[in-house]
Amino acid sequence: MPKALIVYATRTNQTKSIGELVAEGLRMAGVDVQMMSVQEFDKAGVNPEDFDALVLGSATYHGEMMQPMKTYLFKLEQYNLEGKAGGAFGAFGWSGEAPGRIFDTMKNIYKMKMVGGPLMLKSAALGGGVQMAQGYGKEIAGLLDSAA
Ligand SMILES: Cc1cc2nc3c(=O)[nH]c(=O)nc-3n(C[C@H](O)[C@H](O)[C@H](O)COP(=O)(O)O)c2cc1C
């Protein structure tokens, strides 16, 4: 069974809720998922290289991703992520810069095989958010199929 790791940064848990739905979509498509905050990652001792897909999420504050996710993106330099499937998501209020910035870093620096674009939702609960987030997980799973 392919494996995906979801790591997120959040302040009021909207981004975590979106991540849980992305995880559901991945699981529906037969992917084993581990999900944790950036802070939990630091304690968990997991190695992103052990996963087939890496999915990162951050809320947007003051036009930027949250500081723990910025730090985490530098931390990922120690791993070889080239060719792994990837996606980026996050909750936002009006401008939503974070998911796009994360997405571009995963694509351009870590040479990951990314889905079509970042997932930005105002809330997991609004405007078809459940279906969109689950669909995003399925889309990431689809990259794993085509890589096989
Ligand atoms: C002080 C503050 C600044 C914010 N700045 C932005 C912003 O620049 N752009 C944006 O799209 N949303 C902004 N938001 C809205 C948050 O992104 C939104 O509330 C989101 O749902 C929070 O997600 P979280 O629960 O994962 O932390 C801001 C919210 C607060 C409280």
Q: Which atom of ligand 1 is nearest to the CA of 58?
A: 26
What's the pTM?
Answer: 0.97
CATH number, residue 75 = 3.40.50.360
**Domain count across the chain:** 1
- CA 139/CA 126 separation, integer angstroms: 20
Span 107-136, pLDDT tens digits: 999 999 999 999 999 988 888 999 999 999
Residue 148: pLDDT band with limits 50, 70, 90: very low
Per-residue pLDDT, 127: 80
Using the Cα atoms of residue 113, residue 115, residue 121 and residue 124 in order, give the sign of their dihedral.
Answer: negative
Contact 22, 71 (CB under 8 A): no
Q: Which atom of ligand 1 is nearest to the CA of 62?
A: 8
Pocket probe mutation, ligand 1, options 17, 18, 61, max atoms within 8 Å of Cβ: 61
The closest residue, in CA terms, to atom 6 on ligand 1 is 61
pLDDT in tens, 29-58: 999 999 999 999 999 999 999 999 999 999
Residue 138 corresponds to which amino acid?
K
What is the spatial distance between Cα 117 and Cα 30, in angstroms, rounded to a whole number? 22
21, 129 in Cβ contact below 8 A?
yes
pLDDT, position 32: 98
Residue 48 contacts residue 75 (beta carbons within 8 Å): no
Residues spanned by the domain of 128 = 3-147
Closest ligand 1 atom to residue 122 Cα is: 21
